[in-house]
Amino acid sequence: MSEWLPVIIIGFAIALVLGPVMWLKPNQRDSRLADLRGRAAKAGITVQIQTLPAALGEGTAAVYCYRWNDRKRLQVGWALQRQRINHEMNFAGNWDWRNSVKAPQAAWQYLHQLVDSLPSDCCAIIATDVGLGVQWQENGGVKAFSQLSDSLAEYAPLIEEAVRRANPIKLPED
């Protein structure tokens, strides 16, 4: 038994050293998320973590945000959120406005098209001063990310122009 004691002590010491190192190694999910967010950065899309819409329960999800080209005179501060049930009073199926703050009606056509083109695990569309964001639970991998980024690239510029306030008309002074 005494000849095994040093082997056991050395094995225990190695486990003490390697254990914390293995905890620092990212797991498969973290590596996948880092890859998706790296792809977003290369595409010019910023990523922030926000709480899920109240209808979807507790937790957080990433918001992939496509920046506005020209942030002047935009009507922002509205959001569409996925609801638990489909209802005819909702904006589109199970998507409805957060706090009854709606986007300008000129953008509704493009918002309907954007909702239809997004991956199924997207849970909100948010218009901020910075840009148009889509809250996504990041399932579906690279294929779903491509679908999301293509949808944002196509519809964000159209929605941006639709939510822009018209220039006030200046009348000539007499």
pTM: 0.79
Note the pLDDT of residue 26.
Answer: 73
Q: What is the DSSP letter of 46?
A: E
Note the pLDDT of residue 14.
Answer: 80
Note the pLDDT of residue 89.
Answer: 83
What contacts 59, CB < 8 A, 6 or more positions away? 51, 52
Note the pLDDT of residue 16.
Answer: 76
> Strands, E, within the chain: which ranges?
45-51, 60-67, 79-82, 95-97, 122-127, 131-136
Note the pLDDT of residue 168.
Answer: 58
The per-residue pLDDT string of the chain (174 residues; one tens digit each, 9 = 90 and over) reads: 678 877 788 887 887 777 776 677 777 888 888 888 999 999 999 999 998 887 788 889 999 999 999 888 898 999 999 888 888 888 888 899 998 889 999 999 999 999 999 999 999 999 999 999 999 999 889 999 999 999 999 999 999 999 987 655 555 665
What's phi and psi for 37, nearest 5 deg? -70, -30
> Strands, E, within 44-111: which ranges?
45-51, 60-67, 79-82, 95-97
**Cα–Cα dist 34/39, whole Å:** 9
